[in-house]
Structure 1
Amino acid sequence: MKIGCPTEIKPQEFRVGLTPNAAQEATAHGHDVIVQKGAGDGAGFTDADYEAAGASIIDTAEEIFATADMIVKVKEPQASERKMLREGQVLFTYLHLAPDPEQTRDLLASGCTAIAYETVTDRNGGLPLLAPMSEVAGRLAPQSGSWALQKANGGSGVLMGGVPGVRPANVAVIGGGVVGAAAARVAVGMGANVTVLDRSLPRLSYLDDVFLGTLTTQYSDKAAIEELLPRMDMIVGAVLIPGAAAPKLVTRDQLSMMKPGSVLVDVAIDQGGCFETSKATTHQDPIYEVDGIVHYCVANMPGAVARTSTQALGNATMPFMLALADKGWKKACADDPHLMNGLNVHAGQLTYRAVGEALGIDTVSPEKVVNG
């Protein structure tokens, strides 16, 4: 199989879909790997690194898309890239289709087979290809939020850890999963007063044990969130419904309950955001203000630490990428139901129910596509 890795073109996206290590593994399995010139520069990988791994360097994305059997990326294909996808080609990347009808329509029209990192599962019910980026985004969230809290950036001027005689920031993390736990770890480490909200009592019990009383856990419901809003300096939105649009947990009307200069950090923005007033931003222009509340809603937060993120993502995706290349997508999915859960689009058909429900599009089961 010919595996192609184009340069990411989403604004301020410095990650790359294949590491040199992954390229070396793929070539050792007998596959041809083609990488666009400069694709790894933002993550600190040179063209020479890829050539040493056995890959060929290609000048243009057009040639990558025209000749590769499988395209391996990081972010969802942009409009210009979607035009280059073709019937029978496999796309392996993050998609986040539920809040993105335009991308969904284009992928259906292309005839390609699109497998989304974010809906591949594991035997424990986890999301192994989303988890490493969730870890990164979760750890970045309090750092980014603390920057937004600075007065020069529109925030209230509260220091996360306070100082002797002055209280630290109050931080609420809504969602106690991978993102939420990572965000809580860093926020606690920065000295903030942290509350984690979740609807899973076993998860809250786990967090209470792990953090040894250094944070507060609270069951998440509308009343609990409204009780916390007036006291919080920062709220991190870390709620995920796999493959589906994120629920709106703080409405615009509720912003009036918050202190001016408080910060909302929406880590769920790729799935449409969990605050009603959220809209995707970039690293170049990361924040905006609504009703006196600062919003940080960067849609590719891990791209800010591209080296770490690329290595973490590559470690997770490599076994699945090799299975797809070695066996072909259909047999790889038939052999691994967890990989089959990543199938979102095939030959003009939508194959992920949560996306279909979010966008009002009929779906077929992935099992029917794979085994039919």
Structure 2
Amino acid sequence: MKRPSLFLLVLAILTACSKNKPKNVEPVTNIFYDKAFEFRNSNLKDSAFFYFDRARDMFIKQKDSLGIGKCLVNMAIISTDNGDYTGGQKASIDAISFFNEKNKKQHPYITSNYNNLGVATYSQAKYLQAIKFYDLAIKFTKNPDDISLYLNNKATAYQELKQYGQALTIFNQILKSATKDSLKYAMVLNNIAFTKFLENPAYDADPDLLRALQIRENANDLFGKNSSYATLADYYAKENPALALSFAQKMYRVAKKTNIANDKLQALQKLIRLSPAGETKQYFELYNKLDDSVEVARGTTENRFVLAKYEYEKNKSDNLTLLKFKAENRLIFYGLLLIFGLIVSYTIFWYQ
């Protein structure tokens, strides 16, 4: 009786080694990510940023690209809200590579990320570039409210470019889809009235501006009230400085509640410009203190992102090196095993 060739046995072993049985992997939770949202929802942005950063580190270790991207978007939005526009841009740009634009389930994060890029770029007075980002944000959403918001942002950029006709065309497009006396209606009514005033300083914008404010105050819409107070402070600045000052004061009070650094800085600028000479010093001091803290935050954020990017690239490089090492060792092992099998098979065949 012939003995079975060990060569075939070795091939069987090699084949068996190359087929890994699927494993049931339990989903890994990220406690830092959940904690970050708790702080974000409580408007504790510094703490939220810290935990999103920790969550990002954990997602890197878990090799979870989507998780990394979501953390970066949230960190980007917090940075932009705090007046760190460069940091917000960097985080958003870094986030892009972690998303898959072909996966529709990821579109809510992608559209939010592009809108943040638009807001950060707009705040640096790069209005044409901001418009391009708003167009990308619109491209990745089907949500009517999101589209209206991004169109509003786009029209505001045209307003800054003094392209009032283009801005009004977009604002009127939004108005068609707005329910009367809704917050969307108030937003676009305020912006249409102010744009018409900018285009023609003789235009009487009072009725629409005050109507928009009334809707927002009735709904206690803090962000909406902040916008209306800012617009009214600018609108009355020459015609009625005292009234303009009262709106600037209201804007500052609301900005402190929302804790948006840029809104607080803008309100303080208006207070410095509109207040009597004896009162401007306190606002100058508040402005400088806040501006300094924003600069410190910008530096801290930039360092965090540089270190985060270094850690990610290092982990990726280490993983590739490890995979290469394992692959080389596997090839050596299989090669030696194959040679051994051939020798044994040849010896058996020779002595038969």
TM-score range, shorter chain: under 0.3
Structure showing the higher strand proportion among its residues: 1
Structure holding more helix per residue: 2
Q: Which has the higher contact order (CA 8 A, sep 6+)?
A: 1
- From the CA coordinates, give the structure whose radius of gyration is larger: 2
